C-alpha cells in the first residue's frame, strides 16, 4: 500500500513537472533592469576608482526618489561639484584609517554597499530635520549636503559621526559586544530619547544646559541618542571616541559633577562633589569598547582613533590658536578650573594651590575664608589681557561669587607674548575686588608678571585637544604651562 | 478505496488539464521594448532641438518661471531661467517610472525654486515654491512637449526654439509683455471678446490674466496664469467666455494713439482699453472693508507697496524711507479715541508725520470718501518720510488742507474678504492694495 502511494506521487510529480515545460522567453530586455544608465562623467570615474572598484561600494548621487527613506518629502539632489569633496573626506577619515589598521580586505568584507547623497535636509512635521539615515548596514543616506564646506569642521565631524556610527552597527552585528555592556546602564534606555534637546528643560538657558547634559552625560551616556537602546549606545560610544577624539571624551568625564540648581555642590573649601556614578559608567563603557575592538577584531582603538583624528585634522585643518584668539575672533577667553581639567603642569598647579590656600587662611574677619573657584584669561584687546580670579565666600549661599580682575599689558609677536602687570588698574567693581584679594595671591600674579609665554594648542600635552583646550606655555620652561577650556 | 481512486483521477486530470499553453502574443508588441523605444524617442527629440527648448513652468503654488533648456546626448543639460540668467550645466536622464519621466537628476537652476530650505531661494520652509524636477510626459508633438511634475504636479511646457534669435529673446519677450501691460494707466481695463464686454485684470509680475463679465446680471470671473512664447501670450488653462474659448492672445502691442493694448484672439482683433469705472461695483464692499479693519490685527489695514499712481509703483517713494515696512490705514487701536488715519510703519515702529481722517467715515452708494481731519507732525521738510507722507496724504485725501476729500472704490481681491484694492474714483489711475496686518 505504501509503495503504491509512493509510486502515485512520483507519477504525479513527473507529470506536473514535465507536463508544464512551457518555454517562456527569458531574454526580454526589461527597462531599467540592472540600474539606471547615463553617459558617465568624471564624477562617475572618480567614484569607480575610489569606491566601487576597491571596496564594492556604490555611490548614488543622481536623483532617485525611491532611495529616500521618506519619499513624500520635498528633498532636492546634491550639487554635482560637492560629490567628490564629500566622498573624498569620508574615504580619508573613515575607510583609510580602518584600512591602515586592518587592511583593505577587512573593509571590502564589512562595509555597507551603498551611499545615497541628497542636497537638502528632509523636513519633518514636528519641526525637526533629518540629516541622514541608515538601513541595516546595507545603505547609508546622507542628506543636507549642499551646505557642505570642508572648512566647517563640526559639519564634517557630523557626517563622520554618522559613518562611524553605522559601521559600528555592522561590526556589532557580526560579532556582538559582551552583554556586560548593557548591564552598565540597564534601566535608563528609553524610546523617547529624542525628547532630550536644548530648551526642553528650563527657560533659563544656563539651567537648561545643566539639566540637558545631566539627562545623558549625567546618567552615563555619551549622547542623547545613546539612551535609545543598548546597540545604539554601544556604537555611539565607539563613534564618539573615533570622531570626537580622546580629549573630547575625557573632557566630558572631567565635567561630570553633582549640581544644586545652577551650581556645583561643594564643601566649605570649594571642593566639588563629583558625579562618580556617571564617570564610572562612561569609563566602563569606554573600557568595554576598547577590549571589544581588540578581542573581537584585533583593532587597537587608540591606533584607529589617532589615525582618524589625524585624517580629520589633515582634511579640515585647525588654524593656529594664536590666530583664533583675541577680541572679535573665534575665542576670547581661556577658562582654567583645575577641578575640571586634568594634565595641568605641576608648576602652575603649585602656584594656584598656594594662592588658594593663602587666600583661605587670610584675614578671617573681612575675607571669611574666601576660596578661588576658577581663573580665566580674557583677551579684551590686542595689547591687553585680563586675569580674572573668581572667588567665593563659603559662608554665603552658593552663587556666582566675586570676580577680581587684574590687567596685564601684552606684546604679542607671532604668538609669543610677554605679560606685564599694568601700572594703572581701573577702579570699577571687579578691580575693587582685586584689591581685596591681591595681598593673598602674590604667587599667582607673579606666575604671569614679566613672563614670556607661547600661545598655542596643547595637543602635544593633551592629545587631540585642538579646539577644546588652548594654553600658555612658558618660553623659558616648557614644563611650566597652563591651559583651559574655550 | 473508491474515494482514493477518485482523488487520483481528479489529480491526474488536474495535472494534464493545467498545462494548457496560451499562444496569445501581445498585438502591439512587447511592453518593455515599446517603453525602451519611447524613452529613446523622447531623448532623441529633446537632443534634436538645435536652438534648445523654451520651458514654461507653473508650480503648484502658481509661481511662473521661464527657462531655456539645451539637452545633449551625454545626459547633460545647460539652462538659463528668468530668475537666473547665468547659464549653468547639470544632468538629466529619462526613466520609466509610472510614466516615461524626464528627471533633472542633479542640482541645477531649476532646483532653486524646489529647494525646501527657504534660505536658499525663498519660498516656504519644507516646500520651496512647490515645484518639481521629475516630470512625466503627458503629450508630445514635434515642437511641443507637455509634462507634469510627479511630486507637486507642476506644469511644464517645452516649445522647440526655431532660431538663435528666438532663444536669446525668450526673457525679453516676457518683459516686453509686462511693459506693454503696464502702459495702460487705469486700474480698470475693458475688452470685448465674442461680443461680451469683459473687465480685464492683468498681473504681469505673477503672469495672471483674469476676465470678468456679466452673466445674467452677476459678475463671473475666469482666471489663468500665462506664459509668453514669441508673439503669443498663452494661457495655461483655456478660459471660456460665453461661446469663445481663449487659449492665447497673439500680437500683443501697445497702441499709443488709442491708449489701449491691441491683440488677437482666435483670429479676431481685440482691444484692451482703459476704463475708470468697474464693470459692476460691489456696493457693499466699502462698508465691509471698513468693518473688517476693526477685526484685523491691531485694527489696521496694511499695504506693502503703498500707492500706485500716474503709471508709477510706489508713487510716493516710500522706498527712500530707511527701514520702511508698510503703510497703514488704522483705527482707534492705533490712534486712540475714535481716531483713524494714515501712518507709516518704519523700523518696527509707527512713524511721524501722519494724517487723521474726519469722523464719521463717509460711504455713499458703495463709494468711500476720505476727508482729511488732522495733520499730525511735520509734513514740510526734506526728510524722506515727510516727503513720502506728504505725497500719500495728497493722494488719499486729494489735498493737504483740513477738509480735503477724495472718493475711492473698494474692490475685494480674495474670497476670504480680507484683501482689497482701493481705486481712486475720479480717474482710476491711483490705487493701493490692503491686507490685514
Q: Do B111 and A77 lie within an 8 Å CB cutoff? A: yes
Question: How far is CA A393 from each of CA A267, A375, B137, rounded to the nearest angstrom?
Answer: 12, 16, 78
Same-domain pairing of A285 and A434: no
How confident is the model at residue B321, as a pLDDT?
93
DSSP B358: P
pLDDT tens digits for A222-263? 999 899 899 999 999 999 999 999 999 999 999 999 999 999
- What CATH number has the domain bearing residue A124? 3.40.390.70
Give the rounded percent of residues in chain B with a pLDDT score beyond 70: 96
* One domain, residues B351 and B316: yes
**What mean pLDDT is predicted for residues A399-416?**
92
- Whether residues B38 and B156 fall in one domain: yes
- Asked if pLDDT for residue A333 goes beyond 80, the answer is yes
B380 C-beta neighbours (distance < 10 Å), count = 10
- pLDDT reported for residue A156: 86
pLDDT given at position A179? 92
Spatial contact of A160 and A90, defined as CB atoms under 8 Å apart: yes
Grid cell, residue A90, equals 569620508
pLDDT tens per residue, range A2-33:
566 666 666 666 666 555 555 666 666 666 66
Can you tell me which residue has the cell 577680541?
A327
In a domain, A153, yes or no: no
In tens, the pLDDT along A427-439 reads: 999 999 999 999 9
Interchain CB distance below 8 Å, A119 and B73: no
Pair (A287, A305) in one structural domain: yes
- A399-426 mean pLDDT: 92
Residue B189 structural domain: 171-275
Residue A29 confidence (pLDDT): 64
Instruction: Indicate yes or no: CB of A123 within 8 angstroms of CB of B125.
Output: yes
Q: What is the pLDDT of residue A69?
A: 79
Of the candidates B32, B90, B133, the beta carbon closest to that of A29 is on: B32
> Does one domain contain both A384 and A304?
no
Cβ-in-10-Å burial (0-12, 13-18, 19+) of A362 comes to middle
How large is the average pLDDT for residues A468-476? 94
What domain range is A408 assigned to?
321-485
| Residue B428: predicted pLDDT | 94
Give A77-88 pLDDT, tens digit per residue: 999 999 999 999
Claim to verify: residue A465 and residue A479 sit in the same structural domain: yes
* pLDDT (0 to 100) of residue A13: 64
Interchain proximity B90–A123, CB inside 8 Å: no
Option in B30, B96, B104 nearest A28 (CB): B30
Contact list, B105 vs chain A (CB under 8 Å):
38, 62-64, 77
- Whether pLDDT at A400 is above 60: yes
Q: Is residue B28 part of a domain?
A: no
Mark out the alpha helices in B209-266 (DSSP H runs). none
Task: Give pLDDT < 70 ranges for chain B.
Answer: 1-2, 12, 14-24
Nearest residue on chain B to A12, alpha-carbon basis: B12
Say yes or no: B126 and B244 in one domain. no
d(CA B115, CA B84): 15
Q: Is residue A28 domain-resident?
A: no
Q: Give the other-Cβ count within 10 Å of B74's Cβ.
A: 12
Asked if A123 and A262 sit in the same domain, the reply is: no
B32:A8 CB<8 A: no
CATH of residue B248's domain is 2.40.128
Nearest to A345 by CA among A188, A194, A481, A198: A481
Domain boundary among B147, B165, B183: B165
**Is residue A313 domain-shared with residue A333, that is, in the same domain?**
no
- Strand B100-103 and strand B134-140: the pairing is antiparallel
How is residue A381 written as a grid cell?
A: 584687546
| Cβ contact A73–B116 (<8 Å) | yes
CA distance A78 to chain B (A): 6
Q: Where does a domain end: B121, B146, B165?
A: B165
Best of A5, A38, A72 to disrupt the B interface (most B CBs within 10 Å) is A38
B134 contacts in chain A (CB < 8 Å): 63, 65
Cβ-nearest to B126 among A22, A74, A80 = A74
SS (H, E, C) chain A: CHHHHHHHHHHHHHHHHHHCCCCCCCCCCCCCCCCCCCCCCHHHHHHHHHHHHHHCCEEECCCCHHHCCCCCCCCCECCHHHHHHHHHHHHHHHHHHHHHHHCHHHHHHHCCCEEEEECCCEECCCCCEECEEEECCCEEEECCHHHCCCCCHHHHHHHHHHHHHHHHHHHHHHCCCCCCCCCCCHHHCCCCHHHCCCCCCCCCHHHHHHHHHHCCHHHCCCCCHHHCCHHHHHHHHHHHHHHHCHHHHHHHHHCCECEECCEECECCCCCECECHHHHHHHHHHHHHHHHHHHHHHCCCHHHHHHHHHHHHHHHCCCCCHHHHECCCCCECEEEECHHHCCCCCHHHHHHHHHHHHHHHHCCHHHHCCCEEEEEEEEEEECCEEEEEEEEECCCCCCCCCEEEEEEEEEEEECCEEEEEECCCCCCCHHHHHHHHHHHHCHHHHHHHCCEEEEEEECCCCCCCCCCCEEEEEECCCCCCEEEEEC
> Is B15 within a domain?
no
Give the pLDDT of residue B403.
Answer: 93
Residues B124 and B235 in one domain: no
Which residues of B have a CB under 8 Å from any CB of A? 8, 11-12, 15-16, 18-19, 21, 30, 32-33, 35-36, 39, 73-76, 90-91, 93, 95-96, 103-107, 111, 114-117, 120, 125-128, 130, 133-134, 151-152
Residue A167 lies in a domain: no
Does residue B48 form part of some domain? yes
CB A209 within 8 A of CB A215: no
Mean pLDDT of A34-43: 81
At residue B151, the pLDDT reads 95
What is the tens place of the pLDDT at every residue in B346-371?
Answer: 999 999 899 999 988 889 888 999 99
Cα separation, A65 vs B97, whole angstroms: 11
Of the pLDDT bands very low, low, confident and very high (cuts 50, 70, 90), residue A162 is confident
| Confidence check: pLDDT of A171 > 60 | yes
**Model pLDDT for residues B266-276, shown as the tens digit of each residue:** 999 999 999 99
pLDDT of amino acid A426 = 92
Quick one: A90 and A183 in the same domain? no
B228 lies in the same domain as B159: no
Residues 6+ apart with CB under 8 A from B114: A74, A76, B128, B129, B131, B132, B133, B152
A164 located within any domain: no
What ipTM goes with this model? 0.78
Under an 8 A CB cutoff, do B116 and A123 touch? Answer: yes
Task: Please give, rounded to a whole number of angstroms, the shortest distance from the CA of B16 to a CA of chain A.
Answer: 7
Q: Per the structure, how many domains does chain A have?
A: 3
Domain count, chain B: 3
* Beta-bridge partners for B191: B198
Q: What is the pLDDT of residues B105-146, one digit of tens each?
A: 999 999 999 999 999 999 999 999 999 999 999 999 999 999
What per-residue confidence (pLDDT) applies to A276? 95
End residue of a domain, out of B116, B149, B165: B165
Residues A417 and A433 in one domain: yes
Partner-chain residue, chosen from A19, A61, A76, that has the shortest CB–CB distance to B111? A76
Measure CA A172 to chain center: 21
**Same-domain status, A309 and A361:** no
Residues of A with CB under 8 A from a CB of B: 8, 12, 15-16, 19-20, 22, 28-32, 36, 38-39, 41, 61-65, 73-80, 119-121, 123, 146
Closest residue, chain B, to A17 (C-alpha): B15
Report pLDDT for A128: 72
**Domain check: are A107 and A218 in the same one?**
no
Partner-chain contact A123 B126, CB within 8 Å: yes
Is residue A9 domain-resident? no
Amino acid at each position: 500500500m505504501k509503495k503504491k502511494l509512493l509510486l502515485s506521487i512520483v507519477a504525479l510529480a513527473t507529470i506536473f513537472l514535465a507536463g508544464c515545460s512551457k518555454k517562456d522567453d527569458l531574454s526580454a530586455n526589461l527597462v531599467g533592469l540592472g540600474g539606471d544608465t547615463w553617459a558617465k562623467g568624471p564624477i562617475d570615474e572618480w567614484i569607480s576608482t575610489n569606491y566601487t572598484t576597491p571596496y564594492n561600494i556604490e555611490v548614488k548621487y543622481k536623483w532617485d526618489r525611491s532611495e529616500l527613506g521618506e519619499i513624500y518629502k520635498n528633498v532636492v539632489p546634491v550639487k554635482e561639484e560637492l560629490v567628490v569633496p564629500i566622498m573624498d573626506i569620508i574615504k580619508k577619515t573613515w575607510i583609510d584609517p580602518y584600512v591602515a589598521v586592518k587592511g583593505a580586505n577587512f573593509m571590502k568584507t564589512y562595509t555597507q554597499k551603498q551611499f545615497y547623497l541628497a542636497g537638502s535636509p528632509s523636513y519633518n512635521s514636528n519641526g525637526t530635520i533629518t540629516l541622514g539615515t541608515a538601513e541595516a548596514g546595507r545603505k547609508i543616506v546622507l542628506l543636507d549636503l549642499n551646505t557642505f564646506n570642508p572648512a566647517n569642521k563640526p559639519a564634517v565631524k557630523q557626517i563622520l559621526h554618522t559613518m562611524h556610527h553605522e559601521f559600528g552597527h555592522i561590526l556589532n552585528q557580526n560579532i556582538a559586544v559582551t552583554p556586560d555592556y548593557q548591564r552598565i546602564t540597564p534601566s535608563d534606555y528609553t524610546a523617547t530619547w529624542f525628547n532630550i534637546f536644548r530648551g526642553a528643560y528650563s527657560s533659563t538657558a544656563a539651567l537648561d544646559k545643566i539639566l540637558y547634559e545631566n539627562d545623558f552625560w549625567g546618567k552615563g551616556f555619551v549622547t542623547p541618542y545613546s539612551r535609545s537602546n543598548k546597540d545604539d549606545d554601544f556604537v555611539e560610544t565607539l563613534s564618539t571616541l573615533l570622531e570626537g577624539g580622546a580629549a573630547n571624551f575625557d573632557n566630558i568625564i572631567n565635567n561630570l559633577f553633582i549640581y544644586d540648581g545652577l551650581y556645583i555642590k561643594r564643601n566649605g573649601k570649594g571642593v566639588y562633589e563629583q558625579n562618580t556614578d556617571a564617570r564610572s559608567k562612561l569609563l566602563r563603557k569606554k573600557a568595554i569598547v576598547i577590549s571589544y575592538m581588540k578581542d573581537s577584531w584585533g583593532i587597537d582603538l587608540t591606533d584607529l582613533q589617532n589615525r582618524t583624528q589625524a585624517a580629520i585634522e589633515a582634511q579640515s585643518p585647525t588654524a593656529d590658536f594664536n590666530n583664533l584668539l583675541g577680541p572679535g575672533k573665534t575665542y576670547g577667553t581661556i577658562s582654567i578650573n583645575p577641578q575640571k581639567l586634568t594634565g595641568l603642569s605641576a608648576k602652575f598647579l603649585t602656584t594656584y594651590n598656594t594662592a588658594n590656600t593663602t587666600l583661605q587662611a587670610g584675614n578671617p574677619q573681612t575675607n571669611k575664608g574666601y576660596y578661588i573657584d576658577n581663573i580665566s584669561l580674557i583677551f579684551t584687546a590686542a595689547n591687553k589681557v585680563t586675569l580674572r580670579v573668581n572667588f567665593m565666600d563659603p559662608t554665603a549661599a552658593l552663587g556666582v561669587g566675586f570676580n577680581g580682575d587684574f590687567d596685564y599689558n601684552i606684546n604679542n609677536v607671532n604668538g609669543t607674548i610677554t605679560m606685564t602687570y599694568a601700572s594703572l588698574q581701573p577702579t570699577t567693581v571687579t578691580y575693587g575686588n582685586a584689591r581685596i584679594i591681591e595681598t593673598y595671591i602674590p604667587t599667582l600674579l607673579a606666575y604671569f608678571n614679566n613672563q614670556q609665554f607661547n600661545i598655542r594648542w596643547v595637543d602635544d600635552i593633551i592629545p587631540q585637544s585642538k579646539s577644546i583646550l588652548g594654553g600658555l606655555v612658558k618660553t623659558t620652561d616648557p614644563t611650566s604651562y597652563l591651559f583651559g577650556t574655550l | 478505496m473508491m474515494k482514493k481512486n477518485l482523488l487520483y483521477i481528479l489529480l491526474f486530470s488536474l495535472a494534464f488539464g493545467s498545462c494548457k499553453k496560451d499562444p496569445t502574443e501581445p498585438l502591439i508588441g512587447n511592453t518593455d521594448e515599446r517603453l525602451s523605444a519611447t524613452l529613446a524617442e523622447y531623448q532623441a527629440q529633446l537632443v534634436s532641438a538645435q536652438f534648445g527648448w523654451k520651458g514654461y513652468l507653473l508650480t503648484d503654488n502658481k509661481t511662473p518661471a521661464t527657462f531655456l533648456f539645451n539637452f545633449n546626448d551625454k545626459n547633460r543639460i545647460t539652462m538659463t531661467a528668468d530668475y537666473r540668467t547665468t547659464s549653468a550645466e547639470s544632468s538629466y536622464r529619462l526613466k520609466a517610472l509610472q510614466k516615461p519621466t524626464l528627471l533633472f537628476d542633479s542640482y541645477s537652476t531649476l532646483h532653486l525654486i524646489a529647494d525646501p530650505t527657504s534660505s536658499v531661494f525663498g519660498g516656504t520652509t519644507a516646500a520651496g515654491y512647490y515645484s518639481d524636477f521629475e516630470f512625466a510626459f503627458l503629450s508630445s508633438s514635434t515642437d511641443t512637449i507637455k509634462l507634469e511634475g510627479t511630486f507637486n504636479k507642476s506644469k511644464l511646457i517645452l516649445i522647440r526654439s526655431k532660431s538663435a534669435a528666438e532663444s536669446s529673446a525668450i526673457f525679453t519677450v516676457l518683459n516686453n509683455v509686462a511693459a506693454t501691460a503696464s502702459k495702460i494707466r487705469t486700474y480698470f481695463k475693458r475688452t470685448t471678446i465674442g461680443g461680451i464686454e469683459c473687465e480685464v485684470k492683468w498681473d504681469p509680475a505673477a503672469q495672471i490674466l483674469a476676465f470678468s463679465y456679466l452673466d445674467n446680471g452677476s459678475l463671473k470671473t475666469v482666471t489663468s496664469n500665462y506664459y509668453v512664447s514669441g508673439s503669443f501670450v498663452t494661457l495655461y488653462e483655456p478660459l471660456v467666455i460665453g461661446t469663445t474659448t481663449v487659449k492665447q492672445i497673439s500680437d500683443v502691442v501697445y497702441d499709443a494713439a488709442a491708449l489701449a493694448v491691441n491683440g488677437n484672439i482666435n483670429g479676431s482683433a481685440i482691444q484692451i482699453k482703459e476704463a475708470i469705472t468697474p464693470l459692476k461695483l460691489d456696493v457693499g464692499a466699502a462698508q465691509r472693508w471698513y468693518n473688517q479693519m476693526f477685526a484685523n490685527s491691531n485694527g489696521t489695514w496694511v499695504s506693502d507697496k503703498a500707492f500706485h499712481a500716474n503709471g508709477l509703483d510706489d508713487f510716493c517713494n516710500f522706498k527712500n524711507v530707511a527701514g520702511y515696512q508698510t503703510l497703514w490705514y488704522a483705527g482707534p487701536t492705533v490712534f486712540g479715541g475714535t481716531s483713524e488715519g494714515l501712518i507709516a510703519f518704519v523700523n518696527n515702529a509707527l512713524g511721524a508725520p501722519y494724517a487723521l481722517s474726519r469722523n464719521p467715515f463717509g460711504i455713499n452708494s458703495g463709494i468711500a470718501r476720505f476727508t482729511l481731519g488732522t495733520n499730525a507732525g511735520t509734513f514740510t521738510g526734506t526728510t524722506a518720510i515727510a516727503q513720502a507722507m506728504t505725497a500719500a496724504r495728497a493722494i488719499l485725501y486729494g489735498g493737504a488742507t483740513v477738509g480735503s476729500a477724495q472718493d475711492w472704490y473698494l474692490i475685494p481681491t480674495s474670497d476670504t474678504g480680507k484683501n482689497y484694492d482701493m481705486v481712486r474714483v475720479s480717474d482710476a489711475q491711483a490705487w493701493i492694495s490692503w491686507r490685514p496686518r
